[in-house]
Amino acid sequence: MMTKTLAFTAAGLIGLAASAQAVPIPYGNPGTINPVTYTFTAIGSGPITAYFVGESAAYGSKIGLSVNGGPVAFSSFGLQNHTGGGGTTSTPYGTSFVMGNVTAGDVLRFLLAVDMHNYNGPATAGDVDYYLNSDASLNPGGDNHIFSSAYAGDVSIPAGTYVGFEDISPLGASNNDRDYNDHQFVFVGVRGVPKVPDIGGTAVMLGMAIGGLGLLRRKL
């Protein structure tokens, strides 16, 4: 299938930070598998910091960062979705977690450690059932388990790249709602590159662009 690549720089897309909390826009088509796949690249050298946005999950989970395909120990995971065992309290909005240091150009892969044993509680090292990847090709069946978009920032979370994970695998499971909001966060210091299907083809899009220019001239 043909694809087109749309690049964005997370920290510089949309104006100034809002004066009040403005939660990033969630996945718009719950119940369907997100057809857009993503790659992430460090735009500078230094720390990658994640800020907690929210969760809608029964399973405990934490996030981790793999740099250039390297392994990640569970001890390096953080930003738990649930704050206490046996409870439903979420980690506070805007809680930060330094995931590690990177060099400009590094390829970044975000992982979700899912603990199905600790229902409504935090993920623990001995009970992680599986790890899900922001790189869809590394997930069972090649499933895409994330939705991502640029985020302008607010008083609690700076401008960055929003990511929401779907925590049930496989995506075809009968109990999977495919809403991509089970563990949500914003990363600072990355550039996301989504790859989406070319539904119209280059020639059609070129024709639309030319037509739009013609319409603009008539209005002027």
Which tens digits make up the pLDDT trace of 53-84? 999 888 999 999 999 999 999 999 999 998 76
155 Cβ contact partners less than 8 Å away, ≥ 6 residues apart: 17, 18, 19, 20, 21
Q: Average pLDDT, stretch 36-53? A: 94
| pLDDT of the residue at 118 | 75
Which tens digits make up the pLDDT trace of 80-101? 998 765 556 788 999 999 999 9
103 Cβ contact partners less than 8 Å away, ≥ 6 residues apart: 42, 45
DSSP 133-186: ESSGGGSGGG---EEEEEE---SSS-SEEEEEE--SSSTTSTT----S-SEEEE
For the chain, give the percent of residues with pLDDT over 90: 56
Q: Mean of the per-residue pLDDT values for the chain?
A: 80
Q: Which of 12-26, 76-90, 126-140, 185-199 has the lowest mean pLDDT?
A: 12-26
Block residue for tokens 């869809």: 136
Q: What is the pTM of this model?
A: 0.78
Block residue for tokens 């994970």: 165
For the chain, give the percent of residues with pLDDT over 70: 76
Expressed in percent and rounded to 5, the helix, strand and coil fractions of the chain are: 15, 35, 50
Which tens digits make up the pLDDT trace of 135-191? 999 999 999 999 999 999 999 999 999 999 999 998 988 888 999 999 999 999 887
